[in-house]
Structure 1
Amino acid sequence: MTKRSEILRMDEAIAKEEKLLKHLERSIERDNVRFEEFLRENEKKSVEARTLYEQEARSTQEKNSEIRRLTAEILTIKSELARFEEILVDYKSYKDLLFKLSPPEWQDAQRSKVMSGKGAKEDQNRELKDTAIRNGLETPGRQLPSIQETRLSPAHSDSLVTDPKLDSDSSDYEDEPELYFTDPQQLLDLMTELTEQNLSLIQNSTRVEETLEQLQQSLKTTKKNHEKDEEQITMQINEMKERIKKEKARGARLERKVLLHVSLNTQDQDVLLDALSEKVAEVHCSCVDDRVTNLNTLEKLANIEKRLSLLLQSIESIPEEKLELMKKIKDSERRTREREDKLREQREKQKERMRRYSERSLADSKKISGKKLMPRYMPVTQRVKVSNVDSIPAQDEIHEYLFGTENTD
């Protein structure tokens, strides 16, 4: 009993499971049908999207090709515009040139005509604007522009903006420009005349430049000559100043000698004159003529001065290098002679000093007793010193006068 009930229960469970399986199979079939429908719809949509994409790609290619064509046309138009602008600039320059070459009276007449034409055009434009404003105010119920009219492309709007300029330019060029030259031969004649004038001006300028260069060259040469003359004059002035200094020194020396001679008494003057006459005779014999003559002292002095002037002239004609060499030789001889004289004087003084020392040492010493004798008045010092005229030889005086080695204050 229990087994049968168990079997029945299991059969019922199996039936339930079979029923559930059938229900699941039916639901799976429904889902499969829906999925197939979904796949078909997706495939249909993909086909439609592919066709739409192909259509859009074709349209974009067409638009791109159209854009390229339009850009090429725009570039060609721009190049044409640039070329036309260059041609226009050339034509304007030609027009200006022809206008400048025309006579001034005709130019003034053309300017006055242009000004009157501009005034008339301005009046006409003002009247047109006034009439347009009046007509616009009189029209009732003006409609607003449509959206398509407002949404214009930038290029179209630029063209609309630039239309007045084009209109003004076209209005400027509507009238045919007037030219003074009706025949090309007139222009050729004028150009030949202008070229001849230019050539004459160039020739004149070259001639003026040549004369200017010649004047500059002559100015340079005269300047150099003036500089050379100034240098020579300055050298001569310096030489004259040196000679004046030497002459002044000689004059001062002679003045001192004259004062010395004046201060001496007549006896000393006679002695001095005798000594001078002897010295003049000696100088005349050694320098001018060694023969015995009956000339007095003044004539001998005149001969000596004449000989001295001749020697000075010959010295001036001697070249400077040779003169400098002779001066150096004479200076060296004078220095050696002075050195020998100094040494001889020093030796003589030394001998005199030694002689006095020996005499003093050999003499008996005397003792002085009593007061020292004092004079009743101080002895008057001798203001004028008598110099020995024969102390300086005549050759040394001539050497000092010629070469100026004596320092005179």
Structure 2
Amino acid sequence: LFSHNNKNYSLYFTKPEQLLDIFTEMEDKSLPLVEKSQYTSEILDKIHSTINNTITEQNHEVEQLQIQIDQLEELVKYEIEREIPCQNTLIHYKNEKNDPFIEQIKQSIEILYKKHVISDDIGISTIHMLQTIENKIKSLLNTIEQMDSSSIMEAEKFREIAIRTIERQEKLRQEKLMNELKHQKAFLRTSAPPYPKVLSVE
């Protein structure tokens, strides 16, 4: 017991172990709270990290989209600038529709198309023929790229031999034609009746 202001008080703790037990109990009760607080703090850190990563990714996507928008705007601007000369070309083509040179080009494209692509296709436009020929050339180039180099060299040699053979045959044909013309002229001269002699009048 102890007294204060003439009042007597009894001690709550009568043994030292009681205080230790209370501290132990308080520690046991506070430990889950500390662990929960740490877990909550870790969750918050993860949430903040996720938010920051999401913001960074979104900013990057926005930058990429802006770049694409700029590129599309430049492309649209370029196409608009091309529109005027294309329209002028179209007008010129319509005005020159009956130009013999254009008709000659069309005939050449048609001959090339029928010879190397499809021989019996009727009613197709010249532009479509030209596109088909272009696709055929691309396909052949791709085939050549996939071929073995030795095969390509052999094909080149064969092509050169074929070209020389054709040139030689054409040269012989021209020479034969010239000889035939010479023989015909000589035959006509020898078979023609003699010119009558003109008697001079004295």
TM-score range, shorter chain: 0.3 to 0.5
Specify the structure having the higher radius of gyration (Cα). Answer: 1
Higher RCO structure, 1 or 2 (CA under 8 Å, sep 6+): 1
**When the two structures are superposed, what TM-score results if normalisation uses the length of structure 1?**
0.26
